[in-house]
Structure 1
Amino acid sequence: MLLYHLLSLLGFHYVRIGAVALMPSTREPSTAIRVSVIDGPSTLDGIPGIESQLALRAISHIKSRLGTEALLRLLQPDIQASDEFWKSIVLSSRGKAPPAFAHLDVEVDPSLFNVDMFMAWLNSSDFMAYNGANPEQYVKRRVSTEDGTSHFEITESLGGKITSFSMPDFGPGGKSSFMASLPQFPFQRTGRFQLRDGTKFADFHCAFRNKPDRSGIEATLYLWFPDATPQRLIEETTFKALEGPLDQLDRIRYKEVS
């Protein structure tokens, strides 16, 4: 890891390293810097990826040691601040902003990963690996209600705001009039993001299908936020909402973080 620290000092941090050279990510040095891997472990070409995996392993260990309830107690000040933030956004908005949209195309062997496998996981309660593999995913769990139904409760960072919210009507039905039909996607889920006091601050519509040529999967996502929501927060949240299938691919690629 000493080499990684050296590269970080030079401005190379969380960038993909090629076999020959690196380009600095966040800094603009006065003189161009070029680093070549002359000799060493083959994994040198993937130093940021290795560092990321080690960080995920450390975070996963800390989360599992703390446990859900202790983690939520620790994050209460952040959650309360986020509650106030989202309530102020809702109160200062005049309607919904145009939907944020993301389209994901994944080429993968269908025997390793396909929509049926993903939906089976999504409908289960197996979220421990998901929580561990996403640094800003603190809690995701399915809880039962008095009327016999269940819903998701999630605590995660949305654009840097650690938010605790539920998805009480997550499912294939209940599509709002402003949502597209998308008949070419057989697997669809809709719902809303709701704070602990019942304040609704987002609507979502996601859809998945196996690609017609069976070369992988295709996913789309629409998110509607109040029009006073900062654009950067919308963009980051849109990306994070696609982490489910991306995380499943990471588990195939790297196996589970242990």
Structure 2
Amino acid sequence: MQAAGEIVGKTLQAVKAAAKPGVSTLELDQLAEQTIRDCGAIPTFKGYGGFPGSICASVNEVIVHGIPSRETVLKEGDLFSVDCGATLDGWVGDSAWSFGIGQLSPEVQALNDATSWVLDQGIKAMVPGNRLTDVSHALEVATYDAEEKFGVELFIVDGYGGHGIGREMHMEPYLSNEGKPGRGPVLQDGSVLAIEPMLTLGTEDNKVLRDEWTVVTTDNSWASHWEHTVAATANGPRILTPRK
């Protein structure tokens, strides 16, 4: 899984380097697929449940599952979220990264910085002996703390969260981004979860567009999505999708 995850990290770095004003999300999807295949892996997302892309390309008010397209062209000031998966020798890595195209507005920059920080705090709870919802609770508490730390009001997206991962991308258990601690299965040495906070500037409410994939905020407020595949180990949390 570490090897698969490193391919995901490399792919995200390649996409970020190429993501400029005037570039379409379809072009970036093609780059991602080529990068993954050149590393000897398979794009996990492509064909998953009928999804047409190798990445989810979500811009601004799109929270997750944006379909790469020729018509979606990045512009200065956009917040671009790239979610990517790679399968290598039957093992899956999954990670998402949100970043600005050029300079973000101060409020959107605060949203994105906060979401990254919330992920980091959630990862700290990924240790053997903790229960599943200890990670959920850490994400929720961090979100409240981030509002003060980054000076921005934040909303936890309703109905979406992290998941178990291994031989398949989405496995039990579901990991909520909020909740009471001390519930659910006990994390073992070697347990792996995809941890992925999704925060917005205006609402927790969302809807799926007619394409049956794209999830957007109901008020068109912007969203940020960060994700790592993380293993609980005796030496502490181990990020399996490093972006190096």
User: Taking structure 2 as the reference length, what is the TM-score of the superposition?
Assistant: 0.27
Which one has a larger percent helix, Structure 1 or Structure 2? 1
- More relative contact order, 1 or 2 (CA 8 Å, 6+ apart): 2
User: Taking structure 1 as the reference length, what is the TM-score of the superposition?
Assistant: 0.26
